[in-house]
Amino acid sequence: MKITNYIIVLLLLLPFSLISQEDKIKFDEVKVIKEFNANLADFNKINIDPVLPVFDIKNRTYTYSVRSVPVKLNYEKPMIRPLALKPVPNPISNKYKFKIGYGAPKYLKSELSIGYKKHNQNAKLLIRHISADNSKNLKDQKISNNLLGVSFYNRKNSNDLETKLN
């Protein structure tokens, strides 16, 4: 049964294949072109070199005008902690702290902190240096920041002294 179905389909498709075999090509009129030279029309060549505009970054000045607007805040009263809860303990703090880090592009960060605490007096010395340099790859890509800070707190007399030198 399957073979007869295939034979019937082939016999039905046979006339289409015979029609496609007609000779329509005339061999006497075929011309072969061996060489082809394409000529472009005359043109004027213009040389344009791309140039980036130069920005004056160092002499920029900014003027800001800020208008103060009084804001009325409505907020709920803070919740008072009940006496049954234990007070939150103070975090453990070290007397000395030193951090240093280096990254890309040539990014250096270092920080040294020394603290002193006795009874109700606190004193702290802070030295910080941050710098980054990418000026070899991009122009004006360099920063540097140094900080020297001294602070002194007295809890009894509420005399606070804090000095920062940038």
- The verdict on residue 4 lying in a domain is no
Distance CA 105, CA 135 (A): 9
Q: Which bin fits 155, alpha (ψ -120 to 50), beta or left (φ > 0)?
A: alpha
SS3 8: helix
Among residues 112, 146, 154, 107, which one has the least CA distance to residue 129? 146
Q: Is residue 130 part of a domain?
A: yes
Contact (Cβ atoms closer than 8 angstroms) between residue 122 and residue 131: no
Task: Answer yes or no: is 58 within a domain.
Answer: no
Report residue 106 as tokens.
């040539």
Please tell me the predicted confidence (pLDDT) of residue 128: 92
User: What's the pLDDT score for residue 28?
Assistant: 66
Give a yes or no: residue 10 inside a domain. Answer: no
Cα distance between residue 157 and residue 120, in whole Å: 9
Chunked mean pLDDT (size 10), the chain, 166 residues: 84 72 63 72 79 81 88 84 74 80 85 85 88 80 87 73 66
Give domain status of residue 29, yes or no: no
Residue 102 tokens read as 């280096």
Q: What range does the domain containing 162 cover? A: 94-166
Task: Quote the tokens at residue 23.
Answer: 């000779």
In-domain check, residue 78: no
Tell me how far apart the alpha carbons of residues 95 and 146 are, in angstroms, rounded to a whole number.
22
Residue 1 lies in a domain: no
Report if residue 51 sits inside a domain.
Answer: no
**pTM assigned to the model:** 0.40
62, 73 Cβ separation under 8 angstroms: no
Domains in the chain, number: 1
